[in-house]
Amino acid sequence: MKAAQPIGVFDSGIGGMTVARAIQNMLPHEAMIYFGDTEHMPYGDRSADHIMGYSEKITEFLISRGAKIIVIACNSASAVACETLREKYRGQIDVIGVISPVVDYITSRPYKKVGIIGTKATIGSHIHERLIREQSPAMKVAALATPLLAPMIEEGFYNNSISQTIINSYLSNWRFKGVEAMVLACTHYPLIKKEILKYYQKHVDVVDTTEIVAEAVRKSLSEQKLLYTGKKKPDHFYVSEYTESFEKTTRIFFAKQVKIEEVEI
């Protein structure tokens, strides 16, 4: 493994770009290979077996393209596949998910009650509750699946009155009464963070995973002596099915002309 190899990142669609961008901001020399599994989006509505299968194939693809580390920039895939993939590739390549780093962060704070929103796959796995209970048994967790949000965002539908109404309707759920922090347990949700902040009017901490995960990636690369500081090489973007909104978001996020290649996995 060489430091000059790229960082492999994947999600079901555009959500993982929120993580990829945070990694680029923190590690500007690193090149990225990004895979958006748009053909199978939304992962949140898929079975654990299907998500596991896609995650395995994408990981193989990213390794075949020279990735030096794999970032599962998707909570749904992290919830069902991260442990298995970490075991499978142990000693070969490090696999970082988005859930453990955020749980470490949350449990390091003095919160008494936290809310979690994510896809049906993520919330149905109960992984946040389980990990938080292990580390902070007294912390109360209120979790709610919010399945309309990721497809809405993937379609470029946010920052308008309809998206705000849907967000408000989910966040006003009775179970969130008294939460001190709301965890955005879907990598699409940083794109609606402004609207979530507007709902809470600064009364609740809104925690997104992007920088926390970027730091976990930096730490892993540094420990493996794989941090790259040479001249930046080009990023590569792949999708399983071309969509206009993926292309548009990639341009907005990476502020440059990007080439998106469609590949079958």
Nearer to ligand DGL, 126 or 233 (CB): 126
The mark string for 54-83 relative to ligand DGL (x by CB under 6 A, - otherwise) is --------------------xxx-------
Letters for 15-54 (x = contact with ligand DGL by CB under 6 A, - = none) are x-------------------------xxxx----------
Strands 113-118 and 140-145: parallel
Tracing tokens 């990990």 back to the chain, one arrives at 131
The SS3 of residue 109 is coil
* CB-count burial class (<10 Å; 0-12, 13-18, 19+) for 261: exposed
User: Which residues are annotated as catalytic?
Assistant: 74, 186
Residue nearer to ligand DGL on the CB measure, 43 or 105: 43
Which residue's structure tokens are 């901001």? 25
CB of 16 to ligand DGL, least distance (A): 6
Question: Which residue in the block uniquely carries the two structure tokens 């994408």?
Answer: 58
Q: Which residues pair with 104 in a beta bridge?
A: none
Instruction: Compute the distance between CA of residue 57 and CA of residue 73 in angstroms, rounded to an integer.
Output: 15
Residues in the chain: 265
Among 99, 102, 116, 150, binds ligand DGL (CB under 6 A): 150
Give the nearer residue to ligand DGL in terms of CB position, either 123 or 226: 123
Tokens representing 213? Answer: 């995960």
Query: Per CB under 6 A, does 188 bind ligand DGL?
Result: yes
Instruction: Enumerate binding residues for ligand DGL (CB under 6 A).
Output: 11-12, 15, 41-44, 74-76, 118-119, 122, 150, 186-188
